[in-house]
Amino acid sequence: MRQLTQLGLLVHAITVQTGYCFFFPSFGPPSLESYNVDENAVSVSGLSSGASMAVQFHAAFSSRVMGLGVMAGVPYGCAGLTGMTIPLCTLSPSLINTQVLISGTESAAVIGAIDNTNNTANDKIFIYNGLSDSVVNSDVGQKLVEFYQHFTSNQGNIMTKLDLDAEHGVPTLQYGGPCTSFNPQYLLNCNYWTAYHMLNHIYGGQLQEPTASTTQSGQFLQFDQSDMFHLSTPGMYSMDTIGYIYVPSGCADKTTECKLHIAFHGCQQGRYFIGNTFARHAGYNEVGELNNILILYPQVISSLTNPLGCWDWWGYTGIYYRTQYGFQMTAVRRMMEAVIG
Q: Residue 166 contacts by C-beta under 8 Å, 6 or more apart in sequence?
A: 130, 131, 132, 133, 179, 180, 188, 190
Q: Alpha-carbon distance 253 to 156, whole Å?
A: 36
Instruction: Output the CA–CA distances (angstroms, integers) from residue 182 to 88, 161, 176, 179, in the order listed.
Output: 21, 19, 10, 8
| CB 292, CB 35: distance < 8 Å | no
Catalytic residue among 45, 52, 115, 133: 133
Catalytic residue among 43, 49, 168, 265: 168
Which residues share a beta bridge with 245?
221, 296
**Among 244, 269, 319, 248, which residue's Cα sits nearest to residue 49?**
269
Catalytic residue among 43, 48, 302, 303: 48
Q: Which value, to the nearest 10 degrees, does the dihedral of the CA atoms of residues 145, 258, 298, 338 take?
A: -120
Residue 155 has a CB neighbour count (10 Å cut-off) of 9
Buried b (16+ CB within 10 A) or exposed e, 202-230: bbeeebeebeeebebebeeebbbbbbbbe
Is 168 designated active site?
Answer: yes
| CB 218, CB 210: distance < 8 Å | no
Is 31 designated active site?
Answer: no
| CB 122, CB 157: distance < 8 Å | yes
Active-site residue list: 48, 133, 168
